[in-house]
Amino acid sequence: MHWLTSGGESAALEVVRDAFTARGGDWRDAPVPGGSAARSAAINRILGGKPPGVFLFSLGSQLDELAGEELVAPVPGDVAEWESALPPIIAKASRHDGRFVAAPMNIHGENWMFYNAAVLRNAGVEVPRTWPEFLAAAERLKAMGKIPIALGGQPWQERILFNAVLLGIGGRDFYTRIYGQLDREAMRSETMLEIFRTVAKLRDHVDEGSPGRRWNQATSMLMRGEAAFQFMGDWAKGDITAAGFQPGEEIGCAFAPAEELAYIMVVDAWAFTRSRDPAVDAGQRLFVEVAMDKQVQAELNRRKGSIPVRADIPVEGFDPCSRHAMEVIRDPATHLVSTGLFGLPGGVSGAIDDAISHFWNDRRLTPEEGQALFESTVLAFN
Amino acid sequence: MGHPNAPRWRLPRGAAPALALVPATAITFVCFYLFIGWTFAISLTGSRLLPSWDFVGLEQYRRLFASTRWWVAMENLVVYGGLFVGGCILLGYLLAILIDRGVRAEGVFRTVFMLPLSMSFIVTGIIWQWMLNPGLGIQQAVRGLGWEEFAFNWLVRADRSIYTVAIAGIWQQVGLSMALFLAGLRGIDPNIWKATRVDGIPTWRVYWDIITPMLRATFFTTTILLFSLAVKSFDLVVALTGGGPGFSSDLPARFVMEHILTRQELGLGAAGAFMMLCTIAAAVAPYLYLQIRQGRNA
């Protein structure tokens, strides 16, 4: 059971399916379009007494609660080597009570900045490395009649942009203090105000059609050269490749402007249900083996645009953006995770999206008010 | 009790209708009151993804009231509910009067005004989303005609988006109130009209002083109907604005659905749902009380 239904996604899944059936596994496909719909469907089937043997899920508090209610089983088979193969922050998020309850499939990065190289060249701007540089570049681009930022106007997309600024200005520790510890002091700090000021300035560099736009529409604005930058996860590379561009060439990729290198990870993972049927049991064991196989991991992630969860896979054959990411995450200090992965309750990570999106869209709000709104909205649910 | 000669197994008088009502009563009890009770009970627990029975008292209500978004949703309900109910009644009544004055091709007009009603809120929402989208709809069309500076971007403005929801809602439901008022107007004794004509009272005064007070019951029914529609409004917001920009056009029903279904906050959502019930009760109770008292006095 999974939600991998788009072109690049199903090509990636095919790798797992082929390897699984080649080793004698019995694969019954149950795709559900849309991540949250698929997750609800999986939960409904578990509660309804017809659990899928294996299903795709996202790491985070929802999975944790399922594990707490013993509705998902610990990962079957030998997982001893995972300790060394997985990035520690992800190994931690995949465990419940010390045991692995999910097999991470891939790592997506959230803090990417894609840009149209030709547009930047014509405007004579360099790829910005800090947010003040970015704002200066945006002014120039705007004067030339280009839209500086192609933004899809959905709360999670606005969060990605906001978090890029948060990380860029606050740095890694600050990011962890805000989302990992919900630190009230940090939320009230001068740094946070500076972040809100910068975000408020970015509002002027987005076109009016943004609210409600989907991320792939924003990506195609970038490819058509209407817009210069997009802040988006690396799943955008799938669309860029599909449109005949080479990621890293015409459409360049760089990390969002920041002083400290960091990689904000989003992780999809396979989860397993309890079963009394030995055939299902054997299938699950085989599935884990296949999903964690080095070759499967490499090929799957090449197709999906993400990077492997195992650190011991060579970078050859990946596109320049992924290669860069794989180099960067050699250093564990760069590992950060997306808001949901800190184990925050769903209400809290939802409230984070709410607060950011509200501040972004309500131009009457000053940075000071935005900062206060963030603190009160997020901490209300804690 | 019955006639002395009647067979002893006869049901006591009045028992048959009571018996006939048992299934309906049972269904109402289970489907309404039991679920209301369950929702209230859940709202006192710390349930997140799945129902659990660890009681935390009024903790969920504390969290709910601490949330800015909830209060924005409640404020929006007041704005939207007021505009929606008021707009539908005013426009619906006016349309009904105009049709009742005997326009030609009455059937055509009735169909035109009733047609939006046959569409789901989702369809309405999507149509209006296209029309109000600054890049596609009305704004772009008027600019295309030459007014370059024309701006109608309420949909994407946080301080205006709730009004777009009200416009779309009125557009759809005005047919319903028109039909109700038309039925009411048709039920008025034609002799009243004859009498006022004899007395030479201007038409608008007849409507204002005589007809409208006579339609009090229709106004009451329409208000209650529209009000309950407004409180549970959910699909229109989802399709039109998605509660956005930000959460500026959110309504309590959407808040509750989102927290229960996608944010794994069952307890919090239940608390919100119970507060919605309280809101309706608080608004309808005085009305109901008045109506019942008047009914007794009459």
From chain B, the residues in CB contact with A38 under 8 A are none
Q: What is the pLDDT of residue A367?
A: 94
- For residue A362, CA distances in Å to A20, A184, A232, A329 come to 50, 23, 22, 36
Q: What is the pLDDT of residue A12?
A: 80
- For residue B260, CA distances in Å to B16, B47, B237 come to 43, 10, 17
For B253-272, give the DSSP string: HHHHHHHHHTS--HHHHHHH
Q: pLDDT tens digits for B67-124?
A: 888 998 999 999 999 999 999 999 999 989 888 887 777 788 888 888 888 877 788 8
Q: What is the pLDDT of residue B7?
A: 55
Q: What is the pLDDT of residue A228?
A: 92
Q: How far is B213 from chain A (nearest CA, A)?
A: 44
**Cβ separation of A210 and B50 shorter than 8 Å?**
no
Residue count of chain B = 298
Q: What is the pLDDT of residue A85?
A: 80
Neighbours of A121 (CB within 10 A): 10
Beta-strand relationship, A102-109 and A112-116: unpaired
**Partner residue facing B246 (CB), from A347, A350, A357:** A357
Q: pLDDT tens digits for B168-192?
A: 889 888 888 998 999 999 888 888 8
**Partner residue facing A377 (CB), from B68, B133, B156:** B68
Neighbours of B129 (CB within 10 A): 19
DSSP A204: G
Nearest CA in chain B to A340: B263
| Residues B193-201, mean pLDDT to the nearest whole number | 85
From chain A, the residues in CB contact with B247 under 8 A are 354, 357-358
Q: What is the pLDDT of residue A7?
A: 67
Nearest CA in chain A to B159: A362
Q: Which of A362-371, B148-157, B267-276 has the lowest mean pLDDT?
A: B148-157
Report d(CA B174, CA B179) in Å as an integer.
Answer: 9
From chain A, the residues in CB contact with B153 under 8 A are 208
Q: Which of B68, B248, B262 best probes binding to A when mutated, by most A CB atoms within 10 angstroms?
A: B68
Higher pLDDT, B12 or A272: A272
Q: What is the pLDDT of residue B151?
A: 72
Reference B184, options B146, B221, B135, B147; nearest CA is: B221
**Partner residue facing A358 (CB), from B50, B134, B248:** B248
Where does the pLDDT of residue B2 fall: very low under 50, low under 70, confident under 90, or very high at 90 and above?
very low
Radius of gyration over every alpha carbon of chain B, rounded to an integer in angstroms = 25
Find out whether B121 and B235 touch, Cβ atoms under 8 Å: yes
Mean pLDDT, chain A cut into blocks of 10 residues (382 residues total): 73 84 82 76 82 83 81 79 82 82 88 92 90 93 91 88 93 91 91 94 88 85 92 87 84 90 88 82 85 85 84 83 88 84 82 90 90 89 73
**Cβ separation of B244 and A208 shorter than 8 Å?**
no
Q: Within chain A, where are the H helices?
A: 7-22, 35-47, 61-68, 82-85, 88-93, 117-123, 131-143, 155-170, 172-181, 184-188, 190-202, 215-223, 236-242, 278-292, 294-304, 320-328, 346-361, 367-380
The answer on pLDDT for B1 being more than 50 is no
Report d(CA A131, CA A129) in Å as an integer.
Answer: 7
Q: Which of B47, B48, B133, B268 best probes binding to A when mutated, by most A CB atoms within 10 angstroms?
A: B48
**Cβ separation of A376 and B66 shorter than 8 Å?**
yes
Q: pLDDT tens digits for B235-266?
A: 888 888 777 777 788 889 889 988 888 787 88
**Cβ separation of A357 and B242 shorter than 8 Å?**
no
Report d(CA A362, CA B82) in Å as an integer.
Answer: 23
From chain B, the residues in CB contact with A354 under 8 A are 69, 246-247
From chain A, the residues in CB contact with B156 under 8 A are 153, 208-211, 361
From chain B, the residues in CB contact with A153 under 8 A are 156, 244-245
From chain A, the residues in CB contact with B158 under 8 A are 358, 361-364
Q: What is the pLDDT of residue A356?
A: 93
- For chain A, list residues whose CB is within 8 angstroms of any CB belonging to chain B: 36, 40, 43, 47, 61-62, 65-66, 69, 153-155, 208-212, 345-347, 349-351, 354-355, 357-364, 373, 376-377, 379-381
Report d(CA B204, CA B185) in Å as an integer.
Answer: 14
From chain B, the residues in CB contact with A214 under 8 A are none
Structure tokens at A83: 């300790």
Q: Which of A35-39, A85-89, B41-45, B159-163 has the lowest mean pLDDT?
A: A35-39
**Cβ separation of A69 and B247 shorter than 8 Å?**
no
- For residue A80, CA distances in Å to A77, A84, A86, B28 come to 9, 8, 11, 56
